[in-house]
C-alpha cells in the first residue's frame, strides 16, 4: 500500500496553505489530492479582485491569489494528484491510528493510501433550489450563482440575459455585477432575511454601483416556464419568513440565480465518524483544528463557511502546522482538560468548539458568527465566569465572520478552568 505522512484532501486555498505550512514545519511526506483538473479550487472561477488584502496587503484576483500558493507548493516540491477523487477515509484496522484514504483517478485507478494524518479541505457546495422548496416549474435557467460563475468565467458562456437573483450571498452579489458587465440585465436581488448574507463592500460595489435593487425580506414564490424560465415572482415575507399575499411582483426573465447559502461538504467526514456540528455543518474541532477523530484535521470551508480567503489561508496554515506536530509525535494525545466553548446570547457558534489550554500554541483564534444584525454591541469572553475580554463593535452582522484572538497566558492565569463562554452584551 502507498504511504504518506499527511494526506491533504483538496487542493484549493485551504488544502494548499495547509500542505505548505505542514511542509515548512518539517514534514517531508505530504500528498495533496485534488478532484479538479487543476489546483486552486473555487478561486479559479473568482476572477474579480479583492483577495489577499490581509495576507499580501494587495488586491489580487482569485486565480492570482491561488497561484501564489500553487507556486509555493511547487517550490516546496509538494506532490499533488489532480483529477483525483477521494472515495473514502477510514481508520486502519490494525489499530495503528493510521488512516486509509481510498482515491480514484484515470492514471492510477483505485488506490489505497495509508496516511498518519489527514487534513480535510474539501470546501463547500451551494444550497440548490430543491433544498429551498421554491414552488413553481423546474425549467432550464435556474442555476446556483457558483454554477453560473463557472459557466461565465471558465467556460466562456452566458447562462442567461435577463436575471433575477435570490439570496444576497457574496457569490450572488459578485455574479450580479459580472452578469451586468457581460451585458445581461440583472433586475433585482431578493433576500429572504431582513439583512444581507454578503459583505457590505460587495453590496456597495456589486449592486449599488450598478443600480441593482436589493429587496430584503423577499423571496421567490413562483417560477414560470416549462422549458426555459419565463418569469419569476417574488413577494415580501413576514417575520416568520412566510410570503405576504398581495405583495407579489412578477419579473419577466430567462434566468434565476440562487445564492442562498453554502454547505460544507462533509460526506467523507461523516462516514469517517467525526462529530459534525449541527450549526456549522462542519466537523467539531479543538484548538488544534483536529476533529473528534485523532489525527484528522479540518480547515477552510469544509470546517465552516468563510467570507474571506485570507482567513481560510490563516486557518489552514494552523491546521497544517498541527498535523505536522501530530505526525512528529509532538502533539499531546490526551483529551483531559478539554473544555467546550459555550456560544450564547447572539453568538451562533465558535470554531474551535473545544479548547485545551495545555495543547494551545501561544494564541488561539476563535471565529464565530452572530445571529442577527447588532449595532454598538460588545463581544465578551468569560473564563470560569470572569470576563477576560470586552470589545465594542459598531456593527456585527451574520454575513461577516467575527474573530477573537486569545492569549495562552489568559488561560494560564485561571486556576482549575472549567468554562469558556463567548457572548454578545449590550454594555
Partner 1 sequence: MLYDVIIIGAGVSGCAAARELSRYDLKILVAESAEDVCCGTSKANSAIVHAGYDAKPGTLMAKLNVEGNRMMDQVCRELDVPFDRIGSLVVCRSDEDRSVLEKLLEQGRQNGVPDLRIVGRDELKEMEPHITDETQWALYAPTGGIVCPFTLTAAYAENAAANGAEFMFDTRVERVIPSQSDAGRVFCLETSKGQLQARVVVNAAGLYADTIHNQVSSEKIHITPRRGSYNLMDKTAGSHVRHVIFPLPSSKGKGTLVTPTVHGNLLIGPTAVDIDDPEGTNTTAQELSAVVETSGKYIAGIPYRETITSFAGLRAHEDAHEFRIGEVKDCPGFVDCAGIESPGLTSAPAIGVMVAECAAGILNAEKKKDFDPVREGILDPKTLTPEAYRELISQEPSYGSIVCRCESVTEGEIIDAIRRTPGARSLDGVKRRTRAGMGRCQAGFCSPRVMEILSRELGVPLEEITKSGGESRIIVGRDKFIG
Cα–Cα distance, 47 to 89 (Å, whole number): 33
Nearer to partner 1, 104 or 401 (CB): 104
Q: Which of 28, 54, 59, 157 binds partner 1 (CB under 8 A)?
A: 157
- In the complex, least distance from residue 179 CB atom to partner 1, rounded to whole angstroms: 10
Spacing of C-alpha 234 from chain mean position: 28
Question: In the Cβ-directed half-sphere of 139, how many Cα atoms lie within 13 Å?
Answer: 20
Grid coordinates belonging to 261: 447559502
> Phi and psi for 225 in degrees, rounded to 5?
115, 125
Separation of alpha carbons 415 and 84, rounded Å:
49
- Between 240 and 415, whose beta carbon lies closer to partner 1? 240
270 binds partner 1 (CB under 8 A): yes
Q: What is the C-alpha separation between 320 and 298, in angstroms, rounded?
A: 9
Q: Which residue has the cell 451574520?
A: 398
| Contact pattern for partner 1 over residues 80 through 99, marking x by CB under 8 A | ---x-x-x------------
Give yes or no for residue 210 binding partner 1 (CB under 8 A).
no
Q: Any contact of residue 250 with partner 1 (CB under 8 A)?
A: no
Verify binding: residue 35, partner 1, rule CB under 8 A: yes
Distance CA 385, CA 383 (A): 5
Q: Does residue 152 touch partner 1 according to CB under 8 A?
A: yes
| 162: Cα within 13 Å, side-chain hemisphere | 9
| Nearest residue to 313 via CA among 114, 185, 121 | 121
Cβ atoms 401, 306 nearer than 8 A: yes
Is residue 245 near partner 1 by the rule CB under 8 A? no
227 binds partner 1, rule: CB under 8 A: yes
Closer residue to partner 1 (CB): 126 or 315:
126
C-alpha cell at 211: 443600480
By CB under 8 A, which span of 122-130, 189-197, 307-315, 316-324 interacts with partner 1?
122-130
243 binds partner 1 (CB under 8 A): yes
Q: Name which position in 75, 182, 208, 409 contacts partner 1 (CB under 8 A).
A: 182
- Residue 311 CB, shortest distance to partner 1, in Å, is 24
Distance CA 389, CA 288 (A): 22
Q: Are 308 and 403 in contact (CB under 8 A)?
A: no
Q: How far is the CB of 22 from partner 1 (least distance, A)?
A: 25
Q: Which residues of the shown chain bind partner 1 in the complex (CB under 8 A)?
A: 35, 83, 85, 87, 104-110, 112, 125-126, 128-131, 133, 135-140, 143-144, 146-147, 150-152, 154-161, 182-183, 221-223, 226-228, 243, 254, 267, 270
Amino acid at each position: 500500500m502507498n504511504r504518506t505522512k499527511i494526506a491533504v484532501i483538496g487542493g484549493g486555498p485551504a488544502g494548499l496553505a495547509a500542505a505548505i505550512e505542514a511542509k515548512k514545519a518539517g514534514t517531508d511526506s505530504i500528498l495533496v489530492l485534488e478532484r479538479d483538473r487543476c489546483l486552486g479550487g473555487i478561486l479559479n472561477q473568482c476572477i474579480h479582485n479583492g483577495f489577499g488584502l490581509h495576507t499580501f496587503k494587495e488586491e489580487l484576483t482569485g486565480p492570482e491569489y491561488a497561484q501564489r500558493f500553487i507556486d509555493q507548493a511547487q517550490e516546496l516540491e509538494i506532490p499533488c494528484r489532480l483529477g483525483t477523487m477521494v472515495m473514502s477515509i477510514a481508520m486502519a484496522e490494525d489499530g495503528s491510528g493510521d488512516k486509509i484514504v481510498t482515491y480514484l483517478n484515470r492514471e492510477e485507478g483505485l488506490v489505497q493510501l495509508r496516511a498518519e494524518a489527514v487534513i480535510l479541505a474539501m470546501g463547500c457546495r451551494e444550497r440548490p433550489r430543491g433544498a429551498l422548496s421554491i414552488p413553481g416549474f423546474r425549467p432550464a435557467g435556474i442555476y446556483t450563482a457558483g454554477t453560473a460563475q463557472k459557466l461565465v468565467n471558465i467556460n466562456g458562456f452566458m447562462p442567461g440575459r435577463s436575471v433575477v437573483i435570490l439570496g444576497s450571498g457574496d457569490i450572488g452579489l459578485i455574479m450580479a455585477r459580472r452578469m451586468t458587465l457581460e451585458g445581461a440585465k440583472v433586475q433585482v436581488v431578493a433576500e429572504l432575511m431582513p439583512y444581507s448574507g454578503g459583505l457590505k463592500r460587495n453590496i456597495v460595489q456589486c449592486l449599488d454601483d450598478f443600480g441593482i435593487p436589493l429587496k430584503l425580506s423577499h423571496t421567490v414564490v413562483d417560477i414560470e416556464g416549462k422549458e426555459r424560465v419565463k418569469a419569476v415572482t417574488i413577494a415580501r415575507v413576514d417575520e416568520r419568513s412566510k410570503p405576504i399575499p398581495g405583495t407579489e411582483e412578477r419579473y419577466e426573465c430567462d434566468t434565476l440565480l440562487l445564492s442562498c447559502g453554502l454547505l460544507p461538504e462533509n460526506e467523507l467526514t461523516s462516514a469517517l465518524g467525526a462529530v459534525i456540528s449541527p450549526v456549522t455543518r462542519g466537523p467539531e474541532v479543538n484548538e488544534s483544528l483536529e476533529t473528534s477523530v485523532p489525527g484528522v484535521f479540518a480547515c477552510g470551508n469544509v470546517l465552516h463557511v468563510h467570507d474571506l480567503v485570507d482567513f481560510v489561508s490563516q486557518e489552514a496554515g494552523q491546521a497544517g502546522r498541527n498535523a505536522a506536530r501530530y505526525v512528529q509525535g509532538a502533539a499531546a494525545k490526551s483529551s483531559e482538560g478539554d473544555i467546550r466553548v459555550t456560544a450564547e446570547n447572539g453568538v451562533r457558534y465558535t470554531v474551535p468548539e473545544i479548547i485545551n489550554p495545555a495543547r494551545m500554541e501561544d494564541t488561539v483564534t476563535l471565529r464565530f458568527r452572530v445571529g442577527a444584525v447588532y449595532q454598538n454591541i460588545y463581544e465578551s469572553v468569560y473564563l470560569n465566569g470572569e470576563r477576560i475580554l470586552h470589545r465594542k463593535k459598531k456593527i456585527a452582522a451574520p454575513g461577516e465572520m467575527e474573530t477573537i484572538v486569545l492569549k495562552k497566558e489568559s488561560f494560564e492565569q485561571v486556576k482549575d478552568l472549567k468554562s469558556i463562554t463567548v457572548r454578545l452584551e449590550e454594555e
